[in-house]
Amino acid sequence: MNNETKAPRGVLAKSMGFSLALALLFTLVANLLPQVEGEAPVDQEVDLGALTMDSYVALGETLFSGKGTCALCHNDLGRAPDILAINMVEVANQHLQDERYKGSATDAESYLHESLVDPGIYVVKDYGKKGSNDTISPMPAVDKSPIELSEIEINAIIAFMQAKDGYDVTVPLPTEAAAAEPASPEVQKSADTIEAVVAKYSCQACHVILGSGGDLGPALQQMAGRFTREEIRQGIIAPDEVIAEGFPPGVMPQDLAEQMTVKELDILVDYLAGHGKSAATSPASPAATHAEGAVDSDTESMISSFGCLACHVMLGSGGKIGPGLDDIGSRLSAEEIRQSIIDPNAVIAKGFPSGVMPLNYSAQMSEMQLDALVDFLWERK
Amino acid sequence: MKETKNFSPPVLLSLLLVAVLGFLWSGDMVPGHWLPGAVASEVAAEEVATAEGADSAQELQLRPAPRPGREDYPDVGVSSRSIVWIIAQMHLFFGALVLAVPLFVLVIELLGRSTGDARYDDMAHEFMKISITAYSITALFGGTLALALFLLYPDLMAYLMQAFGAQMLVYAMLFFMESILLYVYYYGWDAMRYGNAKWVHLSLGLLLNGVGATLMVMANSWATFMMAPSGVNEVGAVIGNIWEVMKGPLWNPINLHRFIANIAFGGAVVGAYAAYKCLAARTAEDRAHYDWMGYTSNFIAILAFLPLPFAGYWLMAEIYAYSQQMGITAMGGILAWLFIVQAVLIGTILMAGNYYLWSGMSRTEGSKRYQGMIKYIAVVLVICFLIWVTPHTLILTSGEIAALGGSHHHLLGPLGIMPAKNIAVNLMLIFTFLSFQLYRRSDKVATVSWEKAGNALMVAIYVVAIVNIIFAGVYYGYFTNTVYKVGASVTQVVSTLVVIISGVVIDAFMYRKAKTLPSFWGQVSNRSQYALFALPIAFTWLMALMGYVRSSVRTHWHVYTVMKDNSPDNFIPTIGYAGNMMTIVTVMFVLFVLFIFWIANLSNTKQAPPLSVTKKAGEAA
C-alpha cells in the first residue's frame, strides 16, 4: 500500500518567511527603544590657566554622571545614598561624629576624599555588601580600576558636592604642577645586585637583611632551610597571606611585586633562598653600606635608600603609614626633625601610631648624611 | 559515502589548532609593545640575556597585562568588533547545538534501550544526523574565529595565551578527542545497536558528553576571566596557577547557565527540523513520526527552559557580588533597556510553547476535560507579559513629561521595576507548567483511589505558591528597603520550583497505572508547527542578546579592570545597532541550519537508476 502523496508546496518559503518576519519584529523592538551609545570614558582636557571654581564644579558634575559613574548607584533607586538629594557636607560631618567612623578625616572635605578613595573606611548603614553587616562597601575606589579618576578629578567631584548645597568649595583649584604629576609611577632602572634591590625597596627599614636593618618585620636571615623559593616569593607578592608570629599584618606594602621588575624579584628570592650571592664578600657595616651610595648621590636618592618612602609620602610618592613629609618644614623646626629621625617615638604626629618607625637610623647614617637629610626636610615648606 | 566528507574539517582544524596554539604558546608571538616602554625593553633585554627556559617562564608570568594603544589594533577597513561578533556568535550557536544534542540523544537512546521501543533509538539517531553536520560547521567557524581574534586583537590574545597557557593546548586536544568520539558514536550507531554492544555505544555517548562538557567549561573560563579576572594582580600579572585563573567568581554560574541554555536551544532547533519535516510530509506515517519528534523536542526545550531564569538569577547575583557597578551597568545602566527586548523574546518563547501544547491537545479526546482552562491561562500569560515589557522610564518628549508630571507614570511606573517583573516571570513559568501538566494529563485517566486528594493537594500548592509570589513581590518590592528586593526573588523562585517539582512527583505517582486514552500523532494543526519555528528563532535571538549583554558589561575593558580596550570599537553601540547585528546572525544561523536539514535529507535520498542501467541489470540477470 502506497499512501504517499505530493509534498505540500511552499513549506520552505512559508517557514522562512515566518522566521524572517519574527526576527525582524525583534529588530523593530530593539530599534524602537532609546538609542544611546555608551562611550568609553575619555580624560577631560582641562585648560588649567582658564579654570575658574565654577567651571571646576561643572567639571565635577560632568564626572559625577560620566567617567566617575557615580550616578549609576547614587540615584533615587536606593542602591546607594542619593547624593543629589542629600546635603553631603552635612552628612559628612554627621558621619565624622559617628562612633563607627574609624578613618583619619578631620573635616568634610577630607571625609569626602577618603570616602571616594577608600570607601570601606565608613560604610553607611544598610548600604554595605550583602551579608557583611555594613562592614564592607560595594563601592569601588574611584582612583583605581575600573574608574581611575585622577586627583584633580576627585577634587572636582568634591567641589561639586560642596557647591551643590551652597557651601564654600574648600578644595584648591588645580595647578599646572599638580597636573604635571605623572599618571603612573616612573619606571626606574632595574637594580642588578641584592644590595641595590634591598636599598631600592627599603627592605632594611623594617627587616634585618645583609647584616642590618629594622625590627618592625621579621629578620630575613637563615630563611633557606625554612621556606621554599615559592613561599618566599609568595611572601613578597602577598605579604599578608602568612604573617610571622609576633608581627602585625598590613604593615608591609602590598604592591612590592608590582613595583619590582621580574629580575629584581628573582634576585631577592634567590638571595633569601640561599641561592644568590651578595656583591660584597662579607656583610658590610650599615654605615659603610649606605655611605658608599649616599656620598655619590643627592639627598633625594638618600631618602630612597633609607626607605623613608616606605612609610611617608614625599615628592609625589610613598606610603601612608607615617605622616607626609612634603610640608614637614612648615610644621617642625630643624631640631625637631633631627630628633624625629634619631628618636622617632619622642614626639608622635597626631593620628599616627608610635613604635612603627625604626629606632636605629642614627646608627645607619653618618653625621654628614643626617645633617643633609635634616636640611633637606626642613626646606620642605 | 557522502557523509564521510564531514570527517575532515573538524579533525584537520583540531590538528591545525593544536599546531597554532603550540607555536603561539612558545612565546614567539608575544608583541613587544604590550608593556609600558621602559619595562618592555627591559624585559626584552632580560629575555635575550636569559637562556634558561624556566627563568623565561617566570618572567612571562609576572608581566602586567598589555596596554595597547589605538595604533596597535590592525585596521582592516571594517569594524573588527563586527567581524568577531558575527563569527563568534555563529561559532557559539553551532557549538551550543553540537554540545546539547548529544546530551538529550544519550537520554533518548537510554530510554529506547530500557523500553525496547525502537522509535526512540531511530529518533535519537536522526537527531545525531543533524548534530554531525553542525559539528563540521562549528569547527569551521571556530577555526575562523581563532584566526580573526589573533589577527584583529593580537595583544588580547597574547595576554590570554599568557594567562591560560597550556590549558589552551589541552582544549585543542580535547577538541580532537571530541571529533573522534562523535564520529564513532554516530557512524557506529547501527553497528552497536543491540545487546552488550549497545552498552558500549551508550558508554561512548557518555564519554562524548563528558568531553563536550569539559570543552564548554574550559572555553567558558576564557569569557569569565575577561569579565572577572582571577589569579592575576591589580595590573594583570599572572600570580596564580591555572586553576586559580580559571576558577573566577562567575565561572560556575556561567557554566550552569550555558549548560541548561544549550539544552533548551538544541531542543528548539531540532524541533524546527521536526516541524519542517512534519509540514512537508508526504505520508500520514511520516507526519505522525515528525509530529511526535516535534513534541519530544519541544518537551526538551521547554523543560530545560523552565529552570533557566533561576540559573540567570544566580549569575546576576554573583555579578553583583563581584562588582555592584558591573551589575548595575547590566540591569540599571545603559544595557537595562535590552531587558525589555529580553522580555519580548522570553514572552514569545513562553507563548509559543504554550500555544503548541494547547494545539497538541487536539491529538486526544481526553483533552476536552481541560480545554476550558486554556483561556484563563492565556489571559494570565498575556497580563504577565504586558507587565514584563512595561518600561520603568518612558520615552517621552518634554511636553509629555510635563503632562504626565514626570518620567514615570503613576500607575505604570511601579510595574516597570524588578519586583513587578519578578512576579510576572514567576507566574508565567507556573502557568506554563500548568499547560504542560494539563497536556500530559489529557490522554490519561487516573485510577488511584487518592486521585481527588492528590488533585486537591496540587491545587493547594498552586494557590499557595501564587499567593506567596505575589505577596513577596509586593511587600518586599514596594514596602521595604532595596536590599530586600533581591532577597524576595529567592522566595519567589523557590515557590515556582516547588510547584514544578511537586507537580512532576504527584503526577508520576497519580498516573502510574492510569488508563491511557488513544492519541493520534499527526492530528494537529499546521499552525502549531509554526510555534516550533518561533521557538528556535526567539531562542537564537535571545542567546545573541544575552551574550551581548554579558560581554558588554565589561564596557571599555578587554579584561575587566586589568586590560583596557583602546580599539576604535571600545564603546557600547546603540540598542538598534546591536539588534541589527543579532538579526543578521540569527538569519545567517537559520540559513546554515536549513543547509544542515538539506544535507540530512540528501543522505536519505537515492536517485532512481536510469532506464539503461535497469535494462543492463535485467539482461545480466
Asked whether residue A291 falls in the same domain as residue A252, the answer is: no
Average pLDDT of the segment spanning A280-307 = 48
Pairs from A189-195 (Cβ < 8 Å, separation ≥ 24): A190/A261, A190/A263, A190/A264, A190/B42, A191/A264, A191/A267, A192/A263, A192/A267, A193/A267, A193/A278, A193/A279, A194/A267, A194/A268, A194/A271, A194/A276, A194/A277, A194/A278, A194/A279, A195/A278, A195/A279, A195/A280, A195/A289
Q: Does B344 touch chain A if contact means CB atoms closer than 8 Å?
A: yes
Q: Is residue A3 included in any domain, yes or no? A: no
Tally C-beta pairs within 8 A across A and B.
Answer: 179
Asked whether residue A265 falls in the same domain as residue A342, the answer is: no
The alpha-carbon gap from B145 to the nearest alpha carbon of chain A, in Å, equals 24
The alpha-carbon gap from B503 to the nearest alpha carbon of chain A, in Å, equals 33
Q: Is residue A315 included in any domain, yes or no? A: yes
Contact A26 B282 (CB under 8 A): no
Provide, as residue numbers in chain A, all residues whose Cβ is less than 8 Å from the Cβ of B237.
Answer: 257-258
Asked whether residue A81 falls in the same domain as residue A133, the answer is: yes
Q: Please, which pLDDT band fits residue A381 given cuts at 50, 70 and 90?
A: confident
Asked whether residue A114 falls in the same domain as residue A167, the answer is: yes
The most confident of the ranges A230-244, A332-346, B161-175 is: B161-175
Average pLDDT of the segment spanning A334-353 = 78
Kind of pairing, strands B557-559 and B563-564? antiparallel
Q: Is residue A343 included in any domain, yes or no? A: yes
In the stretch 73-102 of chain A, residues with CB closer than 8 A to chain B read 73, 77-79
Q: Say what the pLDDT of residue B227 is.
A: 95
**pLDDT tens per residue, range B511-541:** 998 998 988 999 899 999 999 999 999 999 9
Q: Which of A231, A249, A272 is the last residue of a domain?
A: A272
Output the DSSP codes for B382-430.
HHHHHHHH--SS----HHHHHHHTSSS-TTTGGGGSHHHHHHHHHHHHH
Contact between residue B260 and residue B307 where contact means Cβ atoms under 8 Å apart:
yes
Q: Please, which pLDDT band fits residue B252 given cuts at 50, 70 and 90?
A: very high
Cα distance from N-terminal residue to C-terminal residue, chain A? 108
Q: Say what the pLDDT of residue B396 is.
A: 60
Contact between residue B310 and residue B497 where contact means Cβ atoms under 8 Å apart:
yes
Asked whether residue A163 falls in the same domain as residue A54, the answer is: yes
Q: What type of residue sits at position A318? A: G
Q: Which of A144, A178, A212 is the last residue of a domain?
A: A178
In the stretch 393-432 of chain B, residues with CB closer than 8 A to chain A read 395
> Closest partner residue to B533 among A15, A78, A238, by Cβ?
A15
Phi, then psi, of B558 in degrees rounded to 5:
-70, -55
Contact B324 A78 (CB under 8 A): no
Q: Which domain holds residue A242?
A: 194-272
Quick one: DSSP state of residue B27? I
Which residues have a Cβ under 8 Å from the Cβ of A319 and sit 6 or more positions away?
A253, A309, A310, A311, A312, A313
B571 to chain A: nearest residue by CA? Answer: A39
Cell of A381: 615648606
Cell of A296: 655619590
Q: Is residue A41 included in any domain, yes or no? A: no
Q: Is residue A116 included in any domain, yes or no? A: yes
Q: Does A136 touch chain B if contact means CB atoms closer than 8 Å?
A: no
In the stretch 115-134 of chain A, residues with CB closer than 8 A to chain B read 126, 129-130
Contact A23 B583 (CB under 8 A): yes
CA–CA dist B379, B435 (Å, integer): 13
Q: Say what the pLDDT of residue B28 is.
A: 40
Contact A7 B280 (CB under 8 A): yes
In the stretch 177-206 of chain A, residues with CB closer than 8 A to chain B read 184, 187, 190
Q: Say what the pLDDT of residue B615 is.
A: 80
More confident residue, B598 or B99: B99
Q: Does A164 touch chain B if contact means CB atoms closer than 8 Å?
A: no
Nearest to A193 by CA among A288, A293, A287, A285: A293
Q: Does B490 touch chain A if contact means CB atoms closer than 8 Å?
A: no
Q: Say what the pLDDT of residue B33 is.
A: 38
The alpha-carbon gap from A219 to the nearest alpha carbon of chain B, in Å, equals 25
Provide, as residue numbers in chain B, all residues whose Cβ is less than 8 Å from the Cβ of A40.
Answer: 555-556, 565, 570-571
Q: pTM here?
A: 0.70
Q: What is the average pLDDT value for chain B, to the nearest integer?
A: 86
Q: What is the average pLDDT value for chain A, to the nearest integer?
A: 78
Q: Please, which pLDDT band fits residue B375 given cuts at 50, 70 and 90?
A: very high
**pLDDT tens per residue, range A186-226:** 334 567 778 878 877 777 777 778 777 777 777 787 676 67
In this predicted structure, the answer to whether residue B199 has a pLDDT above a threshold of 60 is: yes
Q: Is residue A277 included in any domain, yes or no? A: no
Q: Say what the pLDDT of residue B109 is.
A: 95
**pLDDT tens per residue, range B427-454:** 999 999 999 999 999 999 999 999 999 9
Cell of A188: 626606574
In this predicted structure, the answer to whether residue B598 has a pLDDT above a threshold of 80 is: yes
Q: Which of A178, A202, A226 is the last residue of a domain?
A: A178
**pLDDT tens per residue, range B408-431:** 677 777 787 778 888 999 999 999
Q: Taking each helix axis as running N to C, give the angle between helix B526-552 and helix B251-279, from 0 to 180 degrees, rounded to the nearest 10.
A: 160
Q: Say what the pLDDT of residue A180 is.
A: 61
List B559's β-bridge partners, or say none.
B563
Interface test with B, best of A3, A4, A5, A15 (most B CBs within 10 A): A15
> Closest partner residue to B59 among A18, A31, A262, by Cβ?
A262
The percentage of residues in chain B with a pLDDT greater than 90, rounded to a whole number, is: 61
User: Is A378 strand, coil or helix?
Assistant: helix
Asked whether residue A314 falls in the same domain as residue A268, the answer is: no
Domain count, chain A: 3
Q: Say what the pLDDT of residue A325 is.
A: 83
Considering only A28-32, B483-487, B502-506, which range has the smallest mean pLDDT?
A: B483-487
Q: Is residue A4 included in any domain, yes or no? A: no
Average pLDDT of the segment spanning A102-126 = 91
Asked whether residue A87 falls in the same domain as residue A160, the answer is: yes
Q: Please, which pLDDT band fits residue B329 given cuts at 50, 70 and 90?
A: confident
> Closest partner residue to B573 among A26, A37, A187, by Cβ?
A37
Determine the length of chain A: 381
Q: Please, which pLDDT band fits residue B500 given cuts at 50, 70 and 90?
A: very high
> Closest partner residue to A78 among B325, B482, B582, by Cβ?
B482
CATH number at residue A367: 1.10.760.10
In this predicted structure, the answer to whether residue A306 has a pLDDT above a threshold of 70 is: yes
Contact B555 A40 (CB under 8 A): yes
Contact A262 B63 (CB under 8 A): yes
**pLDDT tens per residue, range B335-369:** 888 888 998 999 999 999 999 999 999 898 888 89
- Sign of the Cα pseudo-torsion (B508, B510, B514, B520, in order): negative
Contact B571 A261 (CB under 8 A): no
Average pLDDT of the segment spanning A269-276 = 72
Q: Please, which pLDDT band fits residue A333 given cuts at 50, 70 and 90?
A: confident
Contact B583 A237 (CB under 8 A): no
Q: What type of residue sits at position B355? A: Y
Contact A4 B276 (CB under 8 A): no
In this predicted structure, the answer to whether residue B40 has a pLDDT above a threshold of 60 is: no
> Closest partner residue to A30 among B43, B62, B579, by Cβ?
B579
In the stretch 249-288 of chain A, residues with CB closer than 8 A to chain B read 255, 257-258, 261-263, 265-266
Cell of B428: 508565567
> Closest partner residue to B481 among A8, A23, A78, by Cβ?
A78
Contact between residue B23 and residue B16 where contact means Cβ atoms under 8 Å apart:
no
Average pLDDT of the segment spanning B610-614 = 78
Provide, as residue numbers in chain A, all residues whose Cβ is less than 8 Å from the Cβ of B586.
Answer: 23
Contact B282 A184 (CB under 8 A): no
Asked whether residue A146 falls in the same domain as residue A91, the answer is: yes
Q: Please, which pLDDT band fits residue A309 given cuts at 50, 70 and 90?
A: confident
The alpha-carbon gap from A68 to the nearest alpha carbon of chain B, in Å, equals 11
CA–CA dist B294, B276 (Å, integer): 9
Asked whether residue A72 falls in the same domain as residue A163, the answer is: yes
The alpha-carbon gap from A363 to the nearest alpha carbon of chain B, in Å, equals 36
Asked whether residue A148 falls in the same domain as residue A71, the answer is: yes
The alpha-carbon gap from A175 to the nearest alpha carbon of chain B, in Å, equals 27
Q: Is residue A26 included in any domain, yes or no? A: no
Q: Say what the pLDDT of residue A301 is.
A: 66
The alpha-carbon gap from A279 to the nearest alpha carbon of chain B, in Å, equals 20
Q: Say what the pLDDT of residue B447 is.
A: 92
Asked whether residue A172 falls in the same domain as residue A198, the answer is: no
**pLDDT tens per residue, range A12-39:** 899 999 999 999 999 999 998 888 888 8
Considering only A67-81, B224-238, B245-259, which range has the smallest mean pLDDT?
A: A67-81
Nearest to A67 by CA among A76, A59, A75: A59
Asked whether residue A59 falls in the same domain as residue A141, the answer is: yes
Q: Please, which pLDDT band fits residue A78 given cuts at 50, 70 and 90?
A: confident
Q: Say what the pLDDT of residue B11 is.
A: 54
Q: Say what the pLDDT of residue B503 is.
A: 95
Contact A37 B538 (CB under 8 A): no
CA–CA dist B586, B539 (Å, integer): 10
Cell of B610: 536510469
Phi, then psi, of B159 in degrees rounded to 5:
-65, -45
Q: Say what the pLDDT of residue B30 is.
A: 40
Q: Does A37 touch chain B if contact means CB atoms closer than 8 Å?
A: yes
The alpha-carbon gap from A321 to the nearest alpha carbon of chain B, in Å, equals 21
Q: Does A331 touch chain B if contact means CB atoms closer than 8 Å?
A: no
Residue recorded with cell 641584592? A194
